[in-house]
Structure 1
Amino acid sequence: MPDVPYQWMAQQQQAGRRLCLILEAGNEHCQSLMAARNLSQYCPLYAETAVAELASKGPVILLLEQLGEPALAHPLQNPEANRGWLGSLPSDDLIPVIRHWRERLLVGPEGEKALYRFHDNRTLARALAYLPVAQWPIYLGPLISVCYWHEGRWHSHDNPAPGEYPVPDPAPWLQTPNPQAAAILQANILRYLLTEHSEDLAALVEFQDPRIWLAQVLEQARIWQWRSPEQLEFLVVRRLEEATRGSAIRWQPLDGEAPTQHFERVLEQWRKEGTQG
């Protein structure tokens, strides 16, 4: 039995707080926990939102009372597989914390909304590691304390000022770096090149590892601050042509040239040379 979460839960109960668990509804142990509760003791967080059709698979918040509850043991003993986390509240009223996370679950501009996976312990861990402690209250809201698994061990942190807060614009936790983002981007670009530029990619493989080559190209994009899909596609495809066909572009930025101006100038140069050729 993992000692840390049970010790944390016991301490929270001794302080007069109520315990809650965030877990995905699709988890069989979450289903068992829900079945043992009345409707006031749990809530699917996607219900009554724009993504209500996903409520049966999305996160659920459940009140906990009996620490020895059998269905609770598996999520705590297998945190890597279950991906939830624990929190404590001032009372058994779930409405404030439900409202808090519902206001934060959809991110992005209208027409391009995405779900923020606050219920994943990896997301919670990254946010708390990135945010200064002074910003924890606007992220954790009514939660007094949290306990979660991350990188091989249990962690717990107290919220310095629990309460209800509006969502700031921009929300600072959305700036949290994703350690897998670079690997995901590289995989997507290589897949695109394999589909759309397979001959050039095959030629590159003959003399260079495409992953090493792509990492170098993306590092150049980072230095030049070329971040948009259009800029990345242009840089990667044209660099691939250079490596395999011998074509050449004058890439370097001019002194004092802004990233957008740099890109537009190089793009225009390439178009003109293509027309002349």
Structure 2
Amino acid sequence: MVNLPGQWMADQQQAGHRLCVMLEGSNAAREPMMAVRAVAESCTLYAHTPLAEMAPSGPVILLLDQGAEPALLDLLDTPEMHWGWLCSLPTADLAGVARHWRDRLLVGSPGSQSLYRVHDNRTLARTLAYLPGQHWPAFLGPMISVCYWHEKHWYISNNPAPGEYPVPEPVPWLNVPNPNAGAILHANILRYLLAEHSEALVALVEFQDPKVWLTQVLEQARVWHWKRPDQLEFLVVRRLEEATRSSVIRWQPVAGEAPADHFERVVQQWRLMEKEG
């Protein structure tokens, strides 16, 4: 059986490239691997960013001198732990790759930014599988090649044009679909209902499985193209009221009605019903 990471590392070194590992901050190998490296051979990814307070326990980028380092071999033996990924650079200078990823760490408008998990091999794999080749250079930047684990296999992806690139606008890799998005949304809505509408949720449990009920409601939202948070909240909360009280809303869209118009009409109907008692 071919040792793909080992062969990749040998090929990259033979080509004169430097090896690196992007290592997840909570992995047990983080501190031991940093301890045996000079300052210039490691870089804490969150340093010099708005996430600086998290830098001591956040992901790191480490130069690798050789592929037989015991801690590295342990990582390669446990790829299912999702500890990060390997990459190659043209030089031993980590400044360029650190600057590249720091520019891509936070996404969204100031005040409502979220963290882009560049250190996660699953994020890397999904992005490279989704992005057309012309967007790879802006995503991978100075990295020449990457080696990563995804769904029980090792993969290698080569950057067609390594170099320094600004973050494009719009950012193409932020459109990568998350296969777990549905489950995450489902869980978050149930948490919200438990916190804000617990009595109605408890009443629902007496005659229906909340998970099955919510799946049906979210399918209705999908069919009607109600995607905004306010649309989902209205639909879920009002449907919960219907299921546990006597209120009834005429939900079905009128023929030819646009999703936004459909939503506004139903909201107005509900407000009128509330006003009338």
TM-score where L is the length of structure 1: 0.94
The answer to whether 1:206 aligns with 2:206 is yes
Matched residue, 2:148: 148
What amino acid is aligned across from residue 91 of structure 1 in structure 2? T
Distance 1:255 1:82, change over 3 A: closer
Identity %: 65
Matched residue, 1:71: 71
Equivalent pair of 1:140/1:159 in contact (CA under 8 Å): yes
For 2:195 and 2:84, locate their aligned partners in 1 and report how far apart those are by CA, in whole Å.
37
Distance 1:101 1:197, change over 3 A: same
Secondary structure of the residue aligned to 2:56 is: coil
Secondary structure of the residue aligned to 2:57 is: coil
For 2:136 and 2:192, locate their aligned partners in 1 and report how far apart those are by CA, in whole Å.
39
Matched residue, 1:188: 188
For 2:144 and 2:173, locate their aligned partners in 1 and report how far apart those are by CA, in whole Å.
18
Report the CA distance between 1:161 and its aligned residue.
Answer: 1.5
For 1:164 and 1:255, locate their aligned partners in 2 and report how far apart those are by CA, in whole Å.
52
User: Unmatched 5+ residue regions in structure 1?
Assistant: none
Matched residue, 2:225: 225
Q: Deviation per CA, 1:82-101: give whole Å up to 9, x if none.
A: 52100011111222211110
Number of residue-to-residue matches in the alignment = 277
Matched residue, 2:165: 165
Matched residue, 2:93: 93
What amino acid is aligned across from residue 211 of structure 2 in structure 1? R
Report the CA distance between 1:269 and its aligned residue.
Answer: 0.7
Equivalent pair of 1:141/1:165 in contact (CA under 8 Å): yes
Q: Deviation per CA, 1:19-77: give whole Å up to 9, x if none.
A: 11000344331212211111111111111111111111111111111211112111111
Report the CA distance between 1:107 and its aligned residue.
Answer: 0.7
Matched residue, 1:249: 249
Equivalent pair of 1:26/1:56 in contact (CA under 8 Å): no
What amino acid is aligned across from residue 14 of structure 1 in structure 2? Q
Report the CA distance between 1:207 and its aligned residue.
Answer: 3.3
For 1:25 and 1:185, locate their aligned partners in 2 and report how far apart those are by CA, in whole Å.
26
Secondary structure of the residue aligned to 2:98 is: helix
Equivalent pair of 2:27/2:83 in contact (CA under 8 Å): no
User: Unmatched 5+ residue regions in structure 2?
Assistant: none
RMSD across aligned C-alpha pairs, in angstroms? Answer: 1.8
